[in-house]
Amino acid sequence: MPIVEPNQSKRVLVTGANGYIALWVVKILLEQGYRVRGAVRSEEKGKKLLDTFKSYGSEQLEYAVVKDITQDGAFDEAVRDMDAIAHTASPLSAVSEDPDELIQPALRGTLGVLNSALKNGPNIKRIVITSSCAALLHNVTAPTEVFDENNWADEAIGIVKEQGRKALFMEKYRTSKALAERAAWDFTEKHKSEIGWDLVTIQPPFVIGPPLQEVKAPSELNVSLDTFFKNMCTERPEDVLKGSYGYVHVEDVAKAHVDSLKTEAAGGQRLIISSGATTWQNTRNLLKELYPKLYAAGALPIGYPQLPEVILWRYDAAKSERILGIKYKTIKEIAKDTMDDFIARGWIKEAQFNN
């Protein structure tokens, strides 16, 4: 399939354009010279998007209001005249009890944008969908398994089917991501004789890094950054801090979306976008080295420095490194970028103790 190279004649639709990852995608697309249409839920959000990137002007950035991505035909107008789509929109509620509150928006939003592309996007050459490493996972109890793009969260799907509302939140979340992504691949295969585009899905683990959207307090952070803030900046129990997680910088995730548009070999691929894995306590230990004065002043809690490192969630990112040529940011770079942002926002007491 043809690639979508960056120039002023190439137009990219970014869904959920005011979201955490999406704003970084928009930023990089604009920097590289693409024209961008951001799909947002309201005029107010659209105007805020334009204001965030006001230096680029209306010729390079516009918005389309899509009030409810789960409605039939929601993206019909938004996809018109586009050359590519980065579909990042997927509602996430951390308190959902009914699995369908997660599954149906993810499924209907993904299939909705694909159906609209099929009907109204004759010039579209590539669609990149933000999935998640959650779509790969099954439960592990020993640090021996490494997940790659061949894995699917079938275990979670079975658990949710059996337990319904009683299933753990993460099982519901994994199910929603796996079913939405699988539906995208099935749709692409079913309509391969009708479409002029190919599909790429992006699987990041825990995404960390400075938010570009307006955030006035830690409570307004998205789920991943809120978790990072709590686990780094507040007292947490030992069983939380010994937990492991895969990590990646939000900028690397956004670059992977954009690079997937212009890299021929990315077409038709699932791509894990991951820098590595560590534990929450190890991240605190690293921050203590980066910000010794903050810890000495009692501004940040050290936790349990001697906890052993047991990493259960590991991801093989060799495929994305090979195809996209990504040089991932290290955990040191990721943690510092994120904490520097928290400090600049005044969220860390004694922030005058800069190191």
User: For residue range 19-57, what is the model confidence (pLDDT) as tens digits?
Assistant: 999 999 999 999 999 999 999 999 999 999 999 999 998
- pLDDT at res. 91: 64
Nearest 10 degrees: Cα torsion 342, 345, 348, 351: 110
Task: State yes or no: pLDDT of 352 exceeds 70.
Answer: no
In total, how many domains does the chain have? Answer: 2
* Mean pLDDT rounded to a whole number for the chain: 93
Spatial distance between the Cα atoms of 40 and 18, rounded to a whole number of angstroms: 7
For 277, how many CA atoms within 13 A lie in the half-sphere containing its CB?
A: 21
Task: State yes or no: pLDDT of 140 exceeds 90.
Answer: no
- Please return the burial class of 172, using the count of CB atoms within 10 Å of its CB with bins 0-12, 13-18 and 19+: buried
- pLDDT at res. 335: 97
The set of residues, in sequence order, having a beta carbon less than 8 Å from that of 258 and lying 6+ positions away, is 6, 25, 28, 29, 32, 34, 86
- pLDDT at res. 70: 87
Task: State yes or no: pLDDT of 189 exceeds 90.
Answer: yes
Same domain, 154 and 225: no
- pLDDT at res. 63: 97
Domain extent, residue 282, equals 211-248+275-315+322-348
Same domain, 188 and 282: no
Same domain, 288 and 163: no
The 10s digit of each residue's pLDDT in 281-314 is 999 999 999 999 999 999 999 999 999 999 988 9
Residue 354 lies in a domain: no
Residue 355 lies in a domain: no
Task: State yes or no: pLDDT of 355 exceeds 90.
Answer: no
Same domain, 107 and 202: yes
Exposure letters 260-297 (e unless 16+ CB within 10 A, then b): bbbbeebbebbbbbbbbbbbbbbbbbbbbeebeebbee
Task: State yes or no: pLDDT of 58 exceeds 90.
Answer: no
Same domain, 132 and 193: yes
The CATH number linked to 102 is: 3.40.50.720
Same domain, 146 and 234: no
Task: State yes or no: pLDDT of 77 exceeds 80.
Answer: yes
β pairing state of 244-249 and 270-272 = unpaired
The model's confidence at residue 5, banded by pLDDT at 50, 70 and 90, is: confident
Residue 4 lies in a domain: no
Residue 140 lies in a domain: yes
Spatial distance between the Cα atoms of 30 and 8, rounded to a whole number of angstroms: 10
Task: State yes or no: pLDDT of 256 exceeds 50.
Answer: yes
- pLDDT at res. 351: 39
- % of the chain residues with pLDDT over 90: 84
Same domain, 239 and 255: no
pLDDT (mean) for 154-159: 96
Same domain, 97 and 233: no
